[in-house]
Structure 1
Amino acid sequence: MNKGFAAGLRKVIIVPATLLAISINTRAAVAQNKLYSPIPLINTTELSDTLSDKDIPTGQGGFARDYTVKLEKGDNLAVDLSSESFDSIITLLAPDGSTLAENDDGPDGSSNSLLFTRINETGTYIVRVRSFGETGVGIFKLKVTKLQPIK
């Protein structure tokens, strides 16, 4: 076989494969964007919602639901999560996706969750509600409060 012909044939095959890969990755990114859409907490500090098996699988048998909240540098935040249906865990994720704070069981010895933290960077944070292990799904109450200093 002619070397020039073989080299030309490889170029023809590689270019479409590269374009196909780009097309597949773009479709996957669009699909992921539609699947993951955290719920914005706008002017809502307290809500009742339901964790279900349609939410984000945690990989430990449980599920998680995410909420976004815009916070300012210097905000003092309290997040309270309670449920009669499952053992709750609350996680606060920073704008870069790192875990800023997490609480499994509240100070009252119950399986409800309570955390306090100070915000060091202005941005959009994720409040993640999840069940511990395989404890399940069900109704929960979430309260996100920006604490004010006493004057």
Structure 2
Amino acid sequence: MKLRAHHGITSLLTPQVVVMTCLGVGMASSAIAQMPVSSQMGSEAAIAQSSPILLQRQGVLEPGDSILESDGSLYDTYFLNGRAGQQIMISLESDEFDTYLAILTPDGAVLAENDDADDTNSFLEVTLPSSGEYQLIINGYDSNSQGWYTVTVSEVEG
């Protein structure tokens, strides 16, 4: 799959990028306590919650986060250790902005991306091609995208 040119996720592959968020590290405990719980969960998130959850984080896109040079949008990065052949579902939900989600392979290639699974939330179901550390890129549709989000990664039982 190719990324939309205005997002420039491929610019994340440069060595100058500093990852701001790794599995919630760097988020103040007071900020975590103030995170709203989404009252509307999409069907993909409901499916993901019935499978073993590998990662579930709430976060916020806000000034001070990493910025994509191509369009000026904010992004957070999470890491996930996966194994070859593992099937996962990833949902990204926000009531505050139009979400954009991408997953990069251990060698930095874009494995999959999604803008709108159900209007403004994002969802991916992928089979990991190799074992290693994958990057989840949490982003918004444009440079005005800011606010709270929930990202959930579940293993597909099969």
TM-score normalized by structure 1?
0.69
Work out the CA distance in 2 between the residues paired with 1:82 and 1:63: 16
Counting matched residue pairs gives 115
Q: Is the 8 A contact 1:93 1:127 kept in 2?
A: yes
Q: Is the 8 A contact 2:90 2:125 kept in 1?
A: yes
Work out the CA distance in 2 between the residues paired with 1:47 and 1:133: 22
1:146 aligns with 2:155: yes
Which residue of structure 1 aligns with residue 5 of structure 2?
none
Which residue of structure 2 aligns with residue 40 of structure 1?
23
Instruction: Describe the SS at the equivalent of 2:149.
Output: strand
* 1:84 shift after superposition: 1.1
Bigger radius of gyration among the two: 1
Which residue of structure 2 aligns with residue 134 of structure 1?
143
1:19-98 aligned at under 5 Å gives the runs: 35-40=18-23, 45-59=55-69, 60-98=71-109
* 1:40 shift after superposition: 3.3
Q: What residue ranges of structure 2 are gaps of 5+ in the alignment?
A: 1-14, 25-52
- The share of aligned pairs that are identical, in percent, is 24
Could you tell which deviates more after superposition, 88-97 or 51-60? 51-60
Following TM superposition, the consecutive aligned residue runs of length 4 or more in structure 1 with deviations greater than 6 angstroms are none
Work out the CA distance in 1 between the residues paired with 2:103 and 2:113: 6
Q: Is the 8 A contact 1:87 1:135 kept in 2?
A: no
* 1:38 shift after superposition: 4.3
Which residue of structure 1 aligns with residue 121 of structure 2?
112
Instruction: Describe the SS at the equivalent of 1:49.
Output: strand
TM-score normalized by structure 2?
0.66
Show CA shifts across 1:111-142 (max 9, x none): 10001110110000001100111232110011
Q: What residue ranges of structure 1 are gaps of 5+ in the alignment?
A: 1-28
* 1:36 shift after superposition: 2.7
Instruction: Describe the SS at the equivalent of 2:84.
Output: coil
Instruction: Describe the SS at the equivalent of 2:143.
Output: coil
